[in-house]
């Protein structure tokens, strides 16, 4: 199975900061990667699909980039409501695999 | 409004069985692949199973192969997950998720607890 790693595992940043989360796949997955935001007690919410496509309704401060094995999620101008855990997911090969998550705390 | 609503979770003893259901509404269920994803307490999500629009293609995570069966009814707009020989490590919240681009629509989840 493809292993997904994320860094950092957690971060704390201030309102208005630019935040970057990275995700690495153990083998190439082309652009078949998504990013999800999960609030406590809620289902994951899709932010980015196909590595860089913004899901409808998601604020434009969220963006994704990358191809093959290295991917990034960027949040420009961090907002208080962005406090959450963020997961990447590869959907190129079965079994689909999620990264371990990055907890973002907004100071 | 596009909705997925899971049901069927509960407390079951190890070795027991449970059938989860996911009711879809507000969209053309029959044209989308569907997934089950679970999340153990305090852990990240884990993909469990996928089924194509016409049930031609079905996939399972290794630890549930032979124990779980995914199915769908495109007339009733429903997705199911039959779970047998349940283990404590199957405990968690089970979500159904629509497969458009990737898992773009999720239900609220149903909780499965496997404990004696």
Per-residue pLDDT tens for B28-73? Answer: 999 999 999 999 999 999 999 999 999 999 999 999 999 999 999 9
Rounded CA separation B79/B98 (Å): 10
**Is cis: bond before A95, omega within 30 of 0?**
yes
Task: Please give the interface size between A and B, counted as residue pairs whose CB atoms are below 8 Å apart.
Answer: 57
Per-residue pLDDT tens for A35-54? Answer: 999 999 999 999 999 999 99
Looking at the partner chain, which of A32, A43, A98 has a beta carbon nearest the beta carbon of B109? Answer: A43
Asked if A89 and B103 come within 8 Å (Cβ–Cβ), the reply is yes
Q: What are the backbone angles phi and psi of residue B78, rounded to the nearest 5°? A: -140, 150
* Cβ-based neighbours of B112, under 8 Å, separated by 6 or more: B9, B10, B12, B18, B20, B38, B83, B86, B90, B91, B92, B93, B94
Banded model confidence at residue B88, pLDDT cuts 50, 70, 90? very high
**Among residues of chain A, what percentage have pLDDT more than 70?**
100
For an interface test with A, give the residue of B33, B45, B65, B105 to mutate (most A CBs within 10 A).
B45
């Amino acid at each position: 199975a493809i292993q997904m790693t994320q860094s950092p595992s957690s971060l704390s940043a201030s309102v208005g900061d630019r935040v970057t989360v990275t995700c690495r796949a153990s083998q190439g997955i082309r652009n078949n990667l998504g990013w999800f935001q999960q609030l406590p007690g809620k289902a994951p919410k899709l932010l980015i699909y196909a590595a860089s496509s913004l899901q409808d309704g998601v604020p434009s401060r969220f963006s994704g980039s990358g191809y093959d094995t290295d991917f990034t999620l960027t949040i420009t101008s961090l907002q208080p409501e962005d406090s959450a855990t963020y997961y990447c997911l590869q959907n190129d090969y079965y079994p689909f695999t999620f990264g371990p998550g990055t907890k973002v705390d907004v100071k | 409004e596009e909705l997925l609503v899971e049901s069927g979770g509960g407390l079951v003893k190890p070795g027991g069985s449970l059938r989860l259901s996911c009711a879809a509404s507000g969209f053309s269920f029959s044209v989308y692949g569907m997934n089950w994803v679970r999340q153990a307490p305090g852990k990240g999500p884990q993909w469990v199973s996928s089924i194509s629009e016409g049930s031609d293609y079905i996939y399972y995570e290794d630890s549930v192969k032979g124990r779980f069966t995914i199915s769908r009814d495109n007339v009733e707009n429903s997705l199911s997950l039959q779970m047998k020989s349940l283990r404590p490590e199957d405990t968690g919240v089970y979500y159904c998720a629509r497969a458009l681009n990737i898992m773009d629509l999720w239900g609220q989840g149903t909780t499965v607890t496997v404990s004696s």
